[in-house]
């Protein structure tokens, strides 16, 4: 756990208490989760009570208090994708990788999340894996898409 890096992030935001969410987002982006020591550091350096840091970390969807898998699978459940059959695609993904939304598997291969619109509704239903968008996924196509990841 690289606390120096956390300090740098805090310094980038000039140590202002109001930037606590921005600081936590930067930590999340960098480490892909919020380790406990990092949060304690944020609490000490910004003077934001731990109770609030904890509430922020659990209130906003971007944060995770557990490490994430190597591959982040995002199934879009935006309205456009929903009316084009996204729930069934989600069912299939859940079955194939054995995870529910919000979960990560034990060997940290996949994390599954649902999202509300990736802005490419023309291609719905859409799955995004590690930032790459796969469009027009049918129940059948899901397996091909997922099998490409190790």
Partner 1 sequence: MSDLRMRIDGREVTATEGMSVLEAARGAGISIPTLCYHEALEPHGGCRLCIVELDFGDWTQLVVSCVYPARADLVVRTRSEKIDRLRRTILELLLAHAPDSEPLRELAEEYGADRNRFEQEASFCIHCGLCVRYCAEVKKKDAIGFIDRGIRKEIAFLPEIAARECEDCKECFPLCPTSYLQAAWVLLDAQAFGA
Partner 2 sequence: MTPLRTPEELAAYRQRLADDRPADRPCVSICAGAGCLASGAGEVIAAFETELAARGLEADVDTRGTGCPGFCQRGPVVVLHPEGTCYLQVKPEDVPEIVTSSIQGGQVVTRLLYEDPVTGERAVHENDIPFYRHQERTLLEHNIRIDSRSIDDYLAIGGYSALEKALFDMGPEEVLEEVKKSNIRGRGGAGFPAGRKWEGSRNAKDEPRYVIVNADEGDPGAFMDRALLEGNPHSILEGLIIGGYTIGAREGYVYVRQEYPLAVTNVTLAIRQAEEYGLLGEDILGSGFDFRVMVHKGAGAFVCGESTALMTSLEGRVGEPRPKYVRSNVKGLWGKPTVLNNVETWANVPLIVNRGADWFTGIGTEGSTGTKIFSLVGKIVNTGLVEVPMGMPLKDIIYEIGGGIPGGKKFKAVQTGGPSGGCLPEELLHLEVGFDELTEAGSMMGSGGMIVMDEDNCMVDVARYFIDFLTEESCGKCVPCREGLRQMHRILSNICEGKGREGDIETLEDLSEVAMEASLCALGKSAPNPFLSTLRYFRDEYEAHITEKRCPALSCKALVSYYIDPDKCRGCLICMKKCPSQGIEGVRKQIHVIDQEKCDACGVCFEVCPSRYDAVVKISGEPVPDPLPEEERMIVKVAGDE
Measured from the CB atom, the residue of 59 and 130 that comes closer to partner 1 is 59
Taking CA atoms, 96 is separated from 20, 43, 140, in Å, by 38, 40, 11
Measured from the CB atom, the residue of 50 and 66 that comes closer to partner 1 is 50
What binding mask, one character per residue, do residues 34-73 give for partner 1 by CB under 8 A, x or -? Answer: ---------------xxxx-xx--xx--------------
Q: Which two tokens stand for residue 52?
A: 């609030």
Find all residues with CB under 8 Å of 55, minimum gap 6, and list them.
none
Find all residues with CB under 8 Å of 112, minimum gap 6, and list them.
73, 75, 93, 94, 97, 99, 100, 101, 102, 103, 104
Q: How far apart are the C-alpha atoms of 97 and 100, rounded to whole Å?
A: 9
Within 91-150, which residues bind partner 2 (CB under 8 A)? 91, 95, 115-124, 126, 133, 135, 138-140
Taking CA atoms, 26 is separated from 59, 95, 100, 124, in Å, by 16, 33, 26, 30
Given partner 1, partner 2, none, residue 138, with its beta carbon under 5 to 8 Å by kind, binds partner 2
By CB under 8 A, name the one of 6, 9, 19, 112 that touches partner 2. 19
Neighbour count for residue 148 (Cβ, 10 Å): 10
Q: Does 116 bind partner 1 (CB under 8 A)?
A: no
Given partner 2, partner 1, none, residue 117, with its beta carbon under 5 to 8 Å by kind, binds partner 2
Q: How far apart are the C-alpha atoms of 106 and 66, rounded to whole Å?
A: 11
Give the nearest distance from C-beta 135 to partner 1 in angstroms: 30
Binding site for partner 2 (CB under 8 A): 16-22, 24-25, 48, 52, 55-56, 59-63, 77-84, 88, 91, 95, 115-124, 126, 133, 135, 138-140
Binding site for partner 1 (CB under 8 A): 49-52, 54-55, 58-59
């Amino acid at each position: 756990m690289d606390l120096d890096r956390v300090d740098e992030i805090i310094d980038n935001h000039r140590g202002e208490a109001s930037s606590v969410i921005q600081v936590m987002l930067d930590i999340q982006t960098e480490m892909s989760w919020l380790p406990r020591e990092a949060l304690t550091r944020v609490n000490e350096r910004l003077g934001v009570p731990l109770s609030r840091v904890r509430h922020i970390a659990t209130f906003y969807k971007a944060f995770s208090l557990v490490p994430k898998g190597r591959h982040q699978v995002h199934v879009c459940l935006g309205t456009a994708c929903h009316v084009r059959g996204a729930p069934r695609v989600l069912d299939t993904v859940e079955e194939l990788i054995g995870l529910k939304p919000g979960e990560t598997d034990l060997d940290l291969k996949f994390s599954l999340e649902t999202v509300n619109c990736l802005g490419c509704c023309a291609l719905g239903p859409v799955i995004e894996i590690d930032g790459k968008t796969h469009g027009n996924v049918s129940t059948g196509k899901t397996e091909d898409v997922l099998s490409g990841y190790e």
